[in-house]
Chains A and B, each alone.
Chain A
C-alpha cells in the first residue's frame, strides 16, 4: 500500500465528500442565474388571468372541429406536409451524395502514396467540410424563414430548407458510415486503378448499404416531424393551419390539427420502423440479382412517392432558376452582408445566446425530473394499468413538436423565455421518460432483489440497488437531449418563446438583414460549439 493510499484508508471521513459538496454549491451558483435569465416563474401558470385564457382555449378543444370544409383543408395540408418531407429528402439526398463522395477520405486517390495533387485534394476536402458545417449548423426553420422572403409563402421554401440542412446532415453521416467499416476493399480498388465511384460501388457499398438506407429512412421520419412545424414560418403544410388556428384562438380547429399531428408522427414512426426492419432483413445472400424483389418493390414505391410529391407540390423550379429570379436572390443575399458587428448589437446577440442556453438548460432539467417521475410507472413498477397510462402520456408529450408546445405555453404564461422552457420541458419529458423507463427495465434485477430479500423497503432497494446501475445511462441521455435542446431553443423564439430565434424573427420582419445576419452567424457558431463540446464529452466518457 502506498503512503497516500494508507492515509486515505485510515481517514474516517468520506474523501469524496468535499468534491460532492463543491459540485453541489457550484451547481446551485450556476443554476440561479440560469433560472433568472430564463425568467423561471412557475407562478405565472397559475395566475388567474392566464388560467382563464388557457381554460377558455382548452374548453373549445372539445368537440374537435369536424366541419367538412375544414377537413378538406386539413387533408390537403396533411398531404402537403408529407410531400414537403419527401421532396425535401429527395433533394437532400441529391445534394448529399456527391458531397459525401467528395468528403470521404478513403475514396481519395490522392491519399495513396501520397500521390500527386494531394495538397489540392486536402484543401477541397476542408472547404467542403466547412460547407457541410454551415449547411447543417443553420436550423431548417431558419433557412425556411429566410426562403419565405425570396420565394414567397408556400411549400417551396420548406422543401429547399429541408434540402439544405438535411443535405448537410446526410452528407456528414454518410461519410462517417462509409469510413467506419472495413475500408481495405475500397483502397484495393483505388490501388488497382479504379475510380472514386467504382471504389464506392464495389468496395464500400456492399458493407454499408444497409446502414446508409436505414439512416436515410430515419431522416425521412425526422423530416416529417420537421415539416409539420415548417408552416409556422409560412412554409406550407399543417403548421400553417395550426398557426392560423392559434392566432384566432380557435380551440376546435387546434385540437383537430393536434390529433392529426399525433396520427401523422406515429404513422411516420411506424412506417420508418417497418422500412428499416425490411432493410435489415434484406441482402441475406443467395440471390442472383444485387437486390431482392422486395427491395425493388420498395425502391419503386419510394421513387413513385418522390415523383408524386413533386407533382403535388407543383413547385416551378424552372421559374426559380430564371435569370431574373437568380438576380433577385443574389440581391437578397447581398443585403445580409456585411453583418452588423456594432458593440451594441453584438452585446444583444450575446445576451440572446446566453438566454438560449438558459432556456435549454432549465427546460432539460425540468424534463429530467418529469422523465424520472413518469419513467417509474412506465417501467411497470406500479402495475400494468399505471404502466399503460404513463406510456400513453409520454407518447402524447413527445408526439407534439416543441414548437407546437411553445405556441400553447406562450398562450398560458405569455411570450418570453419561460414559454420556451416549458415547451422544451414538455416535449423532452416525453422523450426522456421513455428512454429512462427502458434503462430501468434493462437494469439487472439481482442487486435490488437481494436488498428486498434482506428486508429493505422498495424505495430504499431502488436507491441502493437500481439507481447506481441506471444513473450513468440517464445522465448520458440527459446530456444528449440537452445538446439537441440548445439547437431547438435557438428557434423556439419564432413563436415568441425567447432566445436567439425571437431576435431573428423580429429583425427579419423589420427587414433589418444585416442584424439578422449576425444572429444567424451566432446560431451557427453556437451549433458548432455544441458539436465540439459534445464530441469532446463523448471522448472523455468513452
Chain B
C-alpha cells in the first residue's frame, strides 16, 4: 500500500472546511489523476499526501508509516521519499537551474554534501540527464529568472525526477505548457513512475489529458470524493455533474484545447475567476 487515507477531514484555521470524510488509498505503482473544479480541494488533498498538512480528523498512512506519529528524524526521511511538483515552482529567482535540480536530493544528502555542492555542483551529469528528458538540457547553467514560465515549471518537474521519490505528487504540473508539450511532459512523468515502480498522483485541469493518460480517475468536489473509477467508466454525465456549478449552462468541459493556459503562475484562482474558466 502506497498511501491510505481513512475518513480524513481538514478544516483550515479560518474555519473553512477544505476536505471532509475523504477515504482514498492506492497500491504501490498505481497512477491516479485527480480532477475537479477549482477550489474543490485538489491541492489540499495533495498537501495532505505530502505530509505538509495534517488532517484535522481521520487516519493517514504514507508508504506504510503514519507521518504525524513519527519523531522528527524519521519524518524527515519519510518526506525525502515523497516528491511534490508544485503548481507555481518554488524556486529562488537567482538560483541556477543546476542547483535547483540538485536540491531535489537534499533530503538524502548529508549536510556537508549540500554545502559542497553549492561551491561546485556535485552531480552535473545527473542533473543534465533529467533535464534532457524534459527537453531542457541546454538550460543547465542558466539562472531561474532568465527562463520562461513554462521552462521554470519543467525545472520544478526535473527536481522531482532527480529526487526519485517512491510517492510522486504533482499539482497541476503542466498548467503553463502548450497542449502538445503538456501531453509529452505528462507521459515523461508516467514513464518515470512506471520504470521505478513509484506511485504517481497528479491533479489536472484538463479532463481529456487525465482520461487519456491515467488508468484511475478520482473526481473531487466541495472537499469530498465525487467518484473514484477506472478511466473507461468515467461517463460524460459524471463529468458534467462534477463541473456543474463551475460551468452552469456551459457546454464545454475543461480540456487541453479550451483551457486558458500559458500563464506562468496559475496560482489558486479562487471563486472570483471560476466563471472565467468556462467561457
Chain A interfacial positions (CB closer than 8 Å to B): 1, 5-6, 8-9, 12-17, 20, 446-447, 449-457, 459-461, 463-466, 468-469, 471-472
Contact = CB atoms under 8 A, between A and B. Distances in A.
B103 A456 contact: yes
A64 B123 CA distance: 60
Nearest to B137: A9
19 contacts: A1-B138, A9-B138, A12-B124, A20-B119, A447-B90, A449-B52, A450-B86, A452-B79, A454-B163, A455-B76, A455-B78, A456-B103, A457-B111, A460-B106, A461-B106, A463-B115, A464-B114, A469-B92, A472-B94
Q: Which of A5, A456, A461 has the most CB of B within 10 A?
A: A456
B98 A14 contact: yes
Nearest to A443: B92
Nearest to A471: B94
A1 B142 CA distance: 14
Interface string B51-84: 1100000000000000000000000111111111
Which of B92, B108, B124 is packed against the most chain A CB atoms within 10 Å?
Answer: B92
Nearest to B100: A464
Given A453-B84, A463-B115, A14 B103 contact: no
B104 A454 contact: yes
B45 to A, nearest CB: 15
Given A456-B107, A468-B93, A14 B51 contact: no
A466 B173 CA distance: 23
A453 B52 contact: yes
A6 B78 CA distance: 39
Contacts of A456: 76, 80, 103, 106-107, 114
B90 A455 contact: no
Nearest to B138: A9
5 nearest A-B pairs in the assembled complex, by CB-CB distance: A455-B107, A455-B80, A456-B106, A455-B79, A468-B92
Q: Is the interface of A mostly helix, strand, loop or mixed?
A: helix
A90 to B, nearest CB: 46
A122 B96 CA distance: 49
B193 interface: no
B51 A460 contact: no
Contacts of B91: 447
B118 interface: yes
A199 to B, nearest CB: 43
A475 B128 CA distance: 30
B243 to A, nearest CB: 29
B242 interface: no
Given A451-B103, A455-B80, A456-B107, A14 B120 contact: yes
Interface string B94-130: 1110110001101111010011001111001100100
Given A9-B140, A465-B103, 10 more contacts: A16-B141, A446-B86, A450-B86, A455-B81, A456-B80, A457-B114, A461-B106, A464-B106, A465-B92, A469-B94
B103 A457 contact: no
A328 B160 CA distance: 80
Contact of B124 (A14, A447, A455, A461): A14
A398 B170 CA distance: 48
A176 B106 CA distance: 49
B111 A459 contact: yes
Nearest to B92: A468
B223 interface: no
Interface of B: 50-52, 76-84, 86, 88, 90-96, 98-99, 103-104, 106-109, 111, 114-115, 118-121, 124-125, 128, 137-138, 140-141, 163, 165
Contacts of B128: 12
B153 to A, nearest CB: 14
A8 B124 CA distance: 13
A8 B107 CA distance: 30
Contacts of B114: 456-457, 459-460, 463-464
Contacts of A17: 120
A17 B117 CA distance: 12
A60 B84 CA distance: 60
A86 B165 CA distance: 66
A450 B124 CA distance: 22
Among B84, B96, B111: residue with most chain A CB under 10 A? B111
B124 to A, nearest CB: 6
B221 to A, nearest CB: 26
A459 B114 CA distance: 9
A457 B76 contact: yes
Contacts of B115: 463
Given A449-B90, A451-B106, A8 B80 contact: no
Contacts of B93: 468-469
A374 B98 CA distance: 31
Contacts of A1: 138
Contacts of A468: 92-95, 99
Contacts of A451: 103, 106
A542 to B, nearest CB: 16
B92 A455 contact: no
Given A446-B90, A464-B114, A454 B137 contact: no
A230 to B, nearest CB: 43
A472 B145 CA distance: 14
A461 B95 CA distance: 13
Nearest to A16: B141
B94 A454 contact: no
Contacts of A466: 92
Nearest to A6: B138
B229 to A, nearest CB: 30
A14 B141 CA distance: 8
A5 B138 contact: yes
B91 to A, nearest CB: 6
Given A13-B124, A463-B114, A454 B90 contact: no
Of A449, A452, A455, most buried by chain B (CB within 10 Å of CB) is A455
A12 B176 CA distance: 29
B137 A464 contact: no
Contact of A14 (B88, B121, B138): B121
Contact of B77 (A8, A455, A461, A472): A455
